[in-house]
Amino acid sequence: MPRAEVTGAGSESPLAAGGPSTPPIFSNGHPVYGSAVDAQTRCVHWHGETDVVALKFLCCDRYYPCFDCHEEDAHRGEGAHESSRWPVARWDEPTAVLCGVCGTELSVNAYLATEDCPSCTAVFNPGCALHAHLYFETPQRTR
């Protein structure tokens, strides 16, 4: 059965709208959007040795290497939108964070509880914890 036409602005997904134009790179088969520069999900903003995780943005259901990558991509073209953060209630969902080295996906809880990939032991950039509030909705806002 064909899908009914989507009516009303705002309900349209950025994917359907033609949206951001940067094609994804593929990291172990997972598409990663934004300004990624290699298959381990480093990007033009963060490309140190340990910058090997991508984070899923719920607003567009895509992996991006970093918050800035999403911001740049999400404000381009028709599908422009604000970034969403992971609500605590969904921190157990297993596909929030992608290890760019081996392709393992982690939940927010698992990611926040570890310093390296449980699967391939790649070390994750400890500095990312400073920016966790950009990706994950924390009950108490710390600054």
Which residues of the chain form contacts with Zn ion (CB under 5 A)?
A: 43, 45, 57, 59-60, 65-66, 68-69, 74, 99, 101-102, 104, 117, 119-120, 122
What is the closest distance, in whole angstroms, from the C-beta atom of residue 46 to Zn ion in the complex? 6
Nearer to Zn ion, 5 or 120 (CB): 120
What is the closest distance, in whole angstroms, from the C-beta atom of residue 54 to Zn ion in the complex? 9
Which DSSP state fits 129? G
Nearer to Zn ion, 45 or 133 (CB): 45
DSSP assignment string, 35-68:
SB-STT--BSS--STT--EEEEETTTTEEESSHH
What is the closest distance, in whole angstroms, from the C-beta atom of residue 2 to Zn ion in the complex? 27
What is the closest distance, in whole angstroms, from the C-beta atom of residue 1 to Zn ion in the complex? 29
Nearer to Zn ion, 56 or 142 (CB): 56
- 49-73 burial, b if ≥16 CB within 10 A, otherwise e? ebbbbbbbbebbebbbbbbbbbbbb
- Read off φ and ψ for residue 121, nearest 5 degrees: 65, 15
Nearer to Zn ion, 101 or 140 (CB): 101
Task: State the amino acid at position 89 in one-letter form.
Answer: A
